[in-house]
A = this chain, B = another copy of it.
Amino acid sequence: MIIAHDAAARLDPTGAVAPQLYRLLREAIIQGEMEPGTRISESEIATRYAVSRQPVREAFIKLAEDGLLEVRPQRGTFVCKISVDSVMDARFVREAIEADIVKALAADPDAALVRDLMAQIEEQRVVAGRDSVAFIRLDERFHRTLAEGAGRSHAWRVVEGQKVQMDRVRHLATRRFPMAALVEQHGAIVHAIGRGDIAGAEQAMRLHLRAILTDLPEVVRDLPNFFEAARTPGRLY
């Protein structure tokens, strides 16, 4: 386990413990610091962070809702393997929402927002291909800016919940995924918004969100035991 032994130091003793644990563990799982399939227990985490089992339990429940942990009563709690189905399910929801967001933005373009987005793309270009973690962070900011620019903070929170499944794959792929191409796709989205091209913006976003997962089959092949055995034999995608 990569987590520091003085992990308790990361906790702010003034605030509530349970949400802090949730965020810490969530981050650890998404970034792959806890391998899929790993077995953990309430008491183990509790002692590691020097808190009682109860807040740990609450964090576990939330992580289970996010599809990151599987709690099996009286048996144990496990870090979920990544399910290709879940990833595609998440992408579907995310695509639907973000497509409508950029449609709304293109219907009423805001010059200041477009400038902001273009500046962000420049930042992305700098780290593309060099620092995948930084890129993922910038990418997240870009998409959040779009949502909030459209006045859709709530929709963004929903997207955020879906995104975790996709982000796990990206952290596994690390520098495999084509950041430069993704940056160009960001540019296409913003340009379409800027010129008020509703259909174009929508199409650009949909293509972009599908491109994110082009390397998925490759990742599954290289790291098969990080993934669940497929549950659907038939076609779905």
Q: Mark A78-116, 1 if CB is under 8 A from B, else 0.
A: 000000001001101101110110000000000000000
- The residues of B that contact A40 with a CB separation of less than 8 Å are none
* A152 at interface, CB cutoff 8 A: yes
* A151 at interface, CB cutoff 8 A: yes
One complex includes copies of this chain to the number of: 2
Q: Which secondary structure dominates where chain A touches chain B?
A: helix
* A221 at interface, CB cutoff 8 A: no
* A155 at interface, CB cutoff 8 A: yes
**CA gap between A113 and B151 in the complex, in Å:** 37
Tally of chain A residues near chain B (CB < 8 A): 24
- The residues of B that contact A229 with a CB separation of less than 8 Å are none
Chain A residues at the B interface, C-beta cutoff of 8 Å = 16, 54, 58, 61-62, 65, 73, 86, 89-90, 92-93, 95-97, 99-100, 151-152, 154-155, 158, 162, 236
